[in-house]
């Protein structure tokens, strides 16, 4: 079955939908994000609106479904010495939209934007997420290191694979 998607850059008016999806990701996969559900759930919707205004974040909807199904963002440093690098961050796709190609479409949109802005895109992905590592490898990312015990969730440590794609 062929899937069609609507992809667009999110703005402040998307803050409520973005907040809902972001909190779902943080709650269901705490090992996959540096942020915590508790910290971000306590933030007002205006904080999420500002985040969307200050970063390039894309959202994706499956077919004509009303709910935001996935997100991915690009962050670029304001530092003159680091603005040649961007970070692909916040990638999350609802469980029911996984395996449809939405994640690849979102990442592709972020990378298309990044090509005109930075020379290289980096990311970190929890080492246990084999599907995400396969996706990023297919998109051209290459590992350049592993950060052992990068995150601690409860009493459990999680390593992160550091990956980069040079244009």
Residues of the chain with pLDDT under 70: 1-2, 64
Q: Which of 82, 81, 91 is nearest to 136 (CA)?
A: 91
| Domain count along the chain | 1
pLDDT of residue 66: 85
CA distance 35 to 29: 11
| HEC readout, the chain | CCCCEEEEECCHHHHHHHHHHHHHHHHHCHHHCCCCHHHHHCCCHHHHHHHHHHCEEEEEEECCCCCCCEEEEEEECCCCCCCCEEEEEEEEECHHHCCCCHHHHHHHHHHHHHCCCCCEEEEEEECCCHHHHHHHHHCCCEEEEEEEEEEEECCEEEEEEEEEEEC
pLDDT of residue 65: 77
**pLDDT tens, residue by residue, 109-148:** 999 999 999 999 999 999 999 999 999 999 999 999 999 9
Strand partners, 71: 59, 92
CA distance 45 to 42: 10
Cα 114–Cα 120–Cα 121 angle in degrees, nearest 5: 65
pLDDT of residue 1: 47
pLDDT of residue 2: 55
The CATH number of the domain holding residue 118 is 3.40.630.30
pLDDT of residue 62: 87
pLDDT of residue 122: 98
User: Could you tell me the residue range of the domain that residue 12 belongs to?
Assistant: 5-166
- β 120-126/85-93 pair status: parallel
């Amino acid at each position: 079955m062929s899937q069609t998607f609507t992809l667009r850059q999110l703005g402040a008016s998307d803050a409520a939908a973005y907040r809902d999806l972001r909190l779902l990701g943080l709650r269901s996969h705490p090992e996959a994000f540096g942020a915590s559900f508790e910290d971000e759930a306590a933030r007002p919707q205006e904080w999420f609106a500002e985040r969307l205004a200050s970063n390039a974040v894309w959202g994706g909807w499956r077919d004509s479904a009303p709910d935001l199904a996935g997100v991915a963002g690009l962050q670029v440093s304001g530092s003159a010495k680091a603005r040649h690098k961007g970070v692909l961050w916040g990638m999350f796709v609802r469980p029911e939209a996984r395996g449809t190609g939405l994640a690849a479409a979102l990442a592709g949109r972020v990378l298309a934007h990044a090509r005109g802005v930075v020379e290289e895109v980096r990311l970190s992905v929890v080492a246990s997420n084999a599907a995400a590592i396969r996706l990023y490898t297919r998109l051209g990312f290459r590992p350049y290191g592993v950060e052992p015990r990068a995150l601690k969730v409860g009493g459990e440590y999680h390593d992160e694979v550091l990956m980069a794609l040079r244009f």
